[in-house]
């Protein structure tokens, strides 16, 4: 009995050692150049990077150990005719969760959560998108380990984040962000708190991007219901008929939502150059905060338009900034 208690204690300590915890103060430890421009995730053994071209796996010394790219024989996307873009990613229970879509000039289509095996980088399955939720793009994915949810952010319309149940793989709820972290690029959940990386600076004028936080604990279930709602012409305007009357539709709609306040977590003044902030995560071994940033090219509607040649750039540079937790 005594041996069993000791074994259980050791197991609990091992689990606790890999439980991420947010800090209130960080300092820059190092910057690592990486091949991908979109997402970053971490488990106790590896770091993972994503972009529209591939998934990349590194050991904790940032040595590339494995990759899967679009040009591989068995490809990267499960349905390449429908999707061309990964955003920010997360890794949980041996699986990589990616936001998959076809993205072009600021709009997303054919959204899903594509799940990959973290060991082989092979696609496993999709969690299908519920367009009735109101989501129109997926820029980031975060697994909420405490509530059993996977959250999705929306770069086009960042007023809400959307949750799906890990158990049922069905739409669960959505949260209104107050205020809106416009152009949200990545999210991460830790200690009942969601971090939001927002591309709300201005690279042309060297105005830094920001990270925000919100308490998302106790997220209530709303799901979908039968109802009537206006048909949207775009995310911000409703469709009208020839007489100027609002067009409506009847069917499944979001049954409700809840709201939480956002506060500033970190202003990214430490980036080597203001550019386009992307994914973020917390290292479960060290509690380091990892943030991916792109610099060197002009970005319009989420797409690179070429380098800042007058500054000496010949292409875009992708870097992970590693911040050490001080307290």
CATH of residue 157 = 2.40.128.630
- 184 lies in the same domain as 249: no
Nearest partner of 80 among 54, 57, 119, judged by Cα: 54
Q: How many CA atoms lie within 13 A of 42 on its CB side?
A: 27
Domain end call among 198, 233, 253: 253
Q: Which residues contact 163 (CB under 8 A, 6 or more apart)?
A: 144, 149, 150, 151, 152, 171, 172, 173, 174, 175, 219
> Which residues, in sequence order, are bridge partners of residue 202?
207
Measured distance CA(79)–CA(194) in Å, rounded: 30
Same domain, yes or no: 243 and 145: no
Is the domain of 112 the same as that of 245?
no
- Give the C-alpha separation, 235 to 136, whole Å: 8
Sign of the dihedral defined by the CA atoms of residues 39, 25, 160, 144, in that order: positive
Statement to judge: residues 152 and 301 lie in one domain: yes
Do 142 and 131 share a structural domain? yes
pLDDT at residue 53, as a whole number: 86
DSSP code, position 273: S
Token pair 């299908």 is found at 128
Asked whether residue 238 falls in the same domain as residue 297, the answer is no
CB atoms within 10 A of CB 324: 16
C-alpha closest to that of 20 among 323, 324, 289: 289
Do 102 and 115 lie in a common domain?
yes
pLDDT at 15: 40
Same-domain check for residues 191 and 286: yes
234 and 271 within one domain = no
Q: How many residues does the chain have?
A: 327
Distance between CA atoms of 290 and 322, rounded to whole angstroms? 5
Residue 237 belongs to domain spanning: 225-253
- Whether residues 103 and 242 share a domain: the answer is no
Contacts of 140 (CB under 8 A, 6+ apart): 39, 87, 88, 89, 99, 152, 153, 184, 185, 186, 187, 197, 279
- Domain stop point among 253, 269, 294: 253
Residues 236 and 262 reside in one and the same domain: no
pTM to 2 decimal places? 0.92
Contact 115, 126 (CB under 8 A): yes
Per-residue pLDDT of the chain (327 residues; tens, 9 = 90+): 444 444 444 344 344 445 689 999 999 999 999 999 999 999 999 999 998 889 999 999 999 999 999 888 888 887 777 777 888 999 999 999 999 888 776 677 788 999 999 999 999 999 999 999 999 999 999 999 999 999 999 999 999 999 999 999 999 999 999 999 989 999 999 999 999 999 999 888 999 999 999 999 999 999 999 999 999 888 889 999 999 999 999 999 999 999 999 999 999 999 999 999 999 999 999 999 999 999 999 888 777 788 999 999 999 999 999 999 999
Cα angle at 269 between 266 and 275, to 5 degrees? Answer: 105
**Counted domains in the chain:** 2
132 with 15, same domain: the answer is yes
Question: Residue 105: its pLDDT value, please?
Answer: 65
């Amino acid at each position: 009995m005594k041996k069993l208690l000791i074994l259980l204690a050791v197991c609990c300590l091992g689990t606790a050692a890999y439980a991420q915890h947010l800090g209130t103060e960080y300092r820059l430890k190092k910057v690592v150049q990486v091949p991908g421009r979109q997402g970053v995730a971490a488990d106790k053994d590896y770091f993972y990077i994503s972009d529209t071209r591939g998934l990349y796996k590194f050991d904790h010394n940032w040595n590339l150990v494995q990759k899967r790219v679009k040009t591989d024989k068995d490809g990267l996307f499960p349905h390449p005719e429908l999707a061309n873009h990964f955003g920010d990613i997360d890794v949980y229970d041996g699986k990589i969760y990616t936001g998959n879509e076809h993205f072009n000039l600021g709009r997303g289509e054919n959204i899903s959560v594509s799940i990959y095996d973290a060991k082989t980088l092979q696609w496993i399955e999709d969690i299908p998108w519920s367009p009735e939720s109101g989501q129109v793009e997926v820029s980031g994915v975060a697994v909420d380990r405490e509530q059993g949810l996977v959250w999705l952010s929306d770069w086009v319309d960042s007023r809400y984040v959307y949750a799906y149940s890990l158990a049922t793989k069905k739409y669960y709820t959505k949260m209104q962000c107050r205020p809106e972290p416009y152009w949200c690029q990545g999210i991460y959940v830790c200690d009942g708190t969601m971090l939001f990386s927002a591309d709300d600076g201005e690279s042309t004028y060297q105005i830094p991007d920001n990270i925000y936080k919100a308490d998302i604990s106790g997220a209530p279930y709303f799901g979908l219901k039968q109802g009537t709602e206006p048909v949207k012409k775009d995310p911000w305007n409703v469709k009208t008929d020839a007489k100027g009357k609002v067009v409506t539709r009847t069917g499944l709609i979001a049954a409700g939502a809840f709201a939480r306040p956002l506060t500033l977590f970190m202003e990214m003044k430490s980036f080597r150059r203001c550019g386009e902030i992307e994914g973020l995560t917390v290292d479960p071994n060290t509690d380091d905060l990892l943030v991916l940033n792109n610099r060197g090219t002009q970005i319009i509607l989420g797409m690179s338009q070429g380098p800042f040649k007058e500054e000496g750039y010949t292409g875009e540079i992708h870097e992970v900034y590693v911040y050490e937790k001080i307290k």
